[in-house]
């Protein structure tokens, strides 16, 4: 993800906790004296590589090497107390399922089993039994899988060798997915205002958020914002305008009074987020005849975009599940900007998508623009809006839908942002090529169960999102035509 300017310091998210336990069958140690030291060296290397995946984003809780069910039970208790978001069980050689079953049962965290033998292959001409056993981490894997499934424990594994980059790519995917799961389980999501009238797809049962994703939804009033905006000083508003000028180009259509109002609302919005400890925000208010709440709602785009760039995603039109989707993409390092369908281009085979609302400035393909709008289409009010396009290259459209039974589903589709003409109407328009007829893609995407809003982020992220869905226990659908 492109870094945001130093003037927009990123909000530091919670660090995930990754548990690590390695083990092997203790009966081998007296039989093959050189085996345990070799396996312990491998376990040390696994710990080093886990930490190298991103110490700024998570910490590794290493409970050491276990050799029997008693040590397994003790490790399980230590990992339970640590409150891990993912536990990595390293099968260094054969070990019984009774050694790891307590870890999976007691911790309440998903478990990833890894089988990484020392090198690509054995040296058959020189290996004795002890040397072979260091390569035998695959042996217990079916036993673990069978036991886990019989115990009602979800099973996932990665097999390879110690310095196998393919395997570490897959391990990193699970670790990042666990960090997202942890972010959701500990998050506080703001929901301010009221539902956009008639948008039946965006209506969300708030209990379902806590039940299926974890976290808490804080219901806010526009007055919670109003009282904070009223306390913003003139100097603070001017400073926010200066900040905005350092981030945006200002179009000639920007009215200075509207710009100043958006800056004042932005400062108040920051205080709202800080006071309520929010990790995301969805908002909407219809208003009437320029009254104060209408003006507040219309003045949110600047501040919401600045917050989104700093890692607190904000979505308009009361689209809570979309602010959640934006949070997921942000925590994967993909950015994630508020998006919906705009038009189809059948000559260039692209889908044009974006929104007249908050943008993730860190993934902009160019310096973003502030444009003055005398009217927000479909909404009341007026003010400044953000105009930008996601930078060219691979992207993923990702939405969080909801099925008839209330269960959430994650929907993704990988494409490429390509160059070409864009509207200049204060929208976050991007031209996305999904490698097929844009009409066929639109039909398949619409039939997937996704809402009419979603998050557009950089990179091809379907595999990472599938891992997130797995850890959350959600259905995952990838749209391909």
CATH code for the domain in which residue 179 is found: 3.40.50.10940
Residue 1 lies in a domain: no
Q: Are residues 243 and 161 in the same domain?
A: no
Beta partners for residue 457, in sequence order: 335, 396
Q: Can you tell me the distance from the alpha carbon of 353 to that of 431, in angstroms, rounded to the nearest whole number?
A: 7
Same domain, 178 and 195: no
Are 166 and 293 found together in one domain? Answer: no
By C-alpha distance, which of 263, 250, 246 is closest to 369?
250
Q: Which of 128, 157, 184 is the last residue of a domain?
A: 184
User: Residue 459, by phi and psi: left (phi above 0), alpha (psi -120 to 50) or beta?
Assistant: left
Asked if the structure places residue 250 within a domain, the reply is yes
Return the closest-CA partner of residue 65 out of 41, 83, 101: 41
pLDDT at 107: 85
Both tokens of residue 31? 């039989």
Residue 255 lies in a domain: yes
Same domain for 324 and 466?
yes
Neighbouring C-beta atoms of residue 232, cutoff 10 Å: 19
Structure confidence at residue 442 (pLDDT): 97
Give the total number of structural domains in the chain.
Answer: 2
Which segment of 2-11, 38-47, 236-245 scores lowest on mean pLDDT?
A: 2-11
What pLDDT, in 10s, does the model give residues 130-178? 999 999 999 999 999 999 999 999 999 999 999 999 999 999 999 999 9
Give the chain's mean pLDDT: 93
Q: Are 127 and 193 in a shared domain?
A: no
Q: Are residues 282 and 419 in the same domain?
A: yes
Q: pTM for the complete prediction?
A: 0.94
Residue 392 burial (CB count, 10 A): 16
pLDDT by residue (tens digit) across 325-359?
Answer: 999 999 999 999 999 999 999 999 999 999 877 88
Judge residue 137's burial from the number of C-beta atoms within 10 Å of its C-beta, 0-12 exposed, 13-18 middle, 19 or more buried: buried
Q: CA-CA distance, 330 to 4, in Å (whole number)?
A: 13
> Using one digit for the tens of pLDDT, what is the confidence trace for 253-272?
999 999 999 999 999 999 99
Q: Last residue of a domain, which of 127, 155, 184?
A: 184
Determine the pLDDT at residue 54.
Answer: 86
- From 184, 218, 239, the end of a domain falls on 184
Report the percent of the chain where pLDDT is more than 90. 83
2 — pLDDT class (breaks 50, 70, 90):
low
- Are residues 411 and 463 both part of a single domain? yes
Residue 3 belongs to some domain of the structure: no
93 contacts 35 by C-beta, under 8 angstroms = yes
Do 191 and 101 lie in a common domain?
A: no
Range of the domain at 191: 187-478
Q: Is the residue at 4 inside a domain?
A: no
Q: Tokens in use for 465?
A: 């999102």
- In a domain, residue 2? The reply is no
The CB density around residue 397, as the number of other CB atoms within 10 Å, is 27
pLDDT in tens, 45-54: 999 999 999 8
Looking at residue 10, what is its pLDDT? 87
**Looking at residue 3, what is its pLDDT?**
53
Based on the fold, state whether residues 52 and 141 are members of the same structural domain.
yes
pLDDT, average across residues 19-25? 98
What is the rounded CA–CA span in Å between residue 426 and residue 373?
Answer: 7
Residue 268 covered by a domain:
yes
**Predicted pLDDT at 377:** 59
């Amino acid at each position: 993800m492109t870094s945001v300017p130093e003037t927009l310091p990123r909000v530091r998210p919670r660090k995930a906790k990754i548990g690590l336990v390695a083990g092997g069958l203790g009966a081998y140690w007296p039989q093959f004296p050189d085996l345990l030291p070799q396996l312990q060296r491998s376990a040390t290397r696994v710990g080093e590589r886990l930490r190298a995946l991103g110490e700024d984003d998570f910490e590794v809780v290493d409970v050491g090497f276990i050799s029997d069910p008693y040590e397994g039970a003790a490790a399980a208790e230590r990992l339970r107390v640590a409150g891990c978001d993912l536990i990595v069980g390293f099968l260094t050689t054969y070990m019984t399922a009774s050694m790891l079953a307590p870890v999976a049962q007691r911790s309440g965290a998903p478990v990833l089993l890894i089988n990484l033998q020392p090198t690509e292959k054995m040296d058959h001409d020189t290996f004795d039994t002890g040397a072979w056993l260091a390569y035998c981490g695959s042996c217990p894997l079916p036993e673990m899988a069978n036991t886990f499934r019989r115990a009602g424990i979800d099973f996932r594994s990665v097999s390879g060798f110690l310095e196998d980059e393919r395997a570490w790519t897959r391990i990193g995917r699970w670790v990042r997915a666990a960090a997202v799961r942890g972010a959701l389980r500990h998050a506080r999501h703001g929901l301010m205002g009221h539902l956009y009238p008639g948008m039946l797809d965006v209506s969300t049962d708030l209990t379902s958020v806590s039940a299926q994703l974890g976290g808490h939804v804080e219901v806010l009033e526009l007055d919670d914002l109003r009282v904070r905006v009223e306390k913003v000083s003139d100097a603070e508003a001017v400073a926010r305008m200066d900040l905005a000028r350092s981030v945006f180009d200002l179009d000639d259509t920007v009215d200075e009074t509207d710009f100043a109002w958006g800056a004042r609302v932005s400062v108040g919005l920051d205080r709202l987020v800080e006071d309520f400890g929010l990790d995301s925000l969805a908002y909407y208010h219809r208003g009437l005849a320029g009254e104060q709440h209408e003006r507040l709602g219309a003045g949110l785009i600047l501040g919401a975009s600045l917050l989104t760039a700093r890692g607190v995603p904000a979505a308009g039109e009361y689209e809570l599940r979309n602010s959640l989707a934006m949070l997921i993409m942000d925590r994967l390092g993909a950015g994630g900007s508020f998006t919906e369908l705009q038009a189809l281009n059948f000559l260039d085979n692209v889908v044009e998508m974006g929104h007249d609302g908050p943008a993730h400035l860190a993934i902009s393909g160019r310096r973003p623009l502030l444009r003055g709008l005398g009217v927000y289409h479909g909404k009341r009010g007026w003010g400044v809006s953000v105009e930008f396009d996601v930078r060219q290259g691979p992207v993923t459209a990702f939405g969080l839908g909801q099925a008839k039974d209330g269960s959430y589903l994650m929907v993704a589709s990988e494409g490429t942002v390509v160059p070409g003409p864009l509207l200049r109407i204060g929208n976050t328009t991007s031209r996305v090529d999904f490698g097929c007829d844009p009409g066929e893609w639109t039909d398949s995407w619409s039939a997937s169960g996704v809402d009419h809003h979603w998050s557009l982020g950089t990179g091809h992220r379907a595999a990472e999102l599938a891992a997130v869905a797995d850890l959350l226990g959600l259905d995952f659908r990838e749209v391909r035509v």
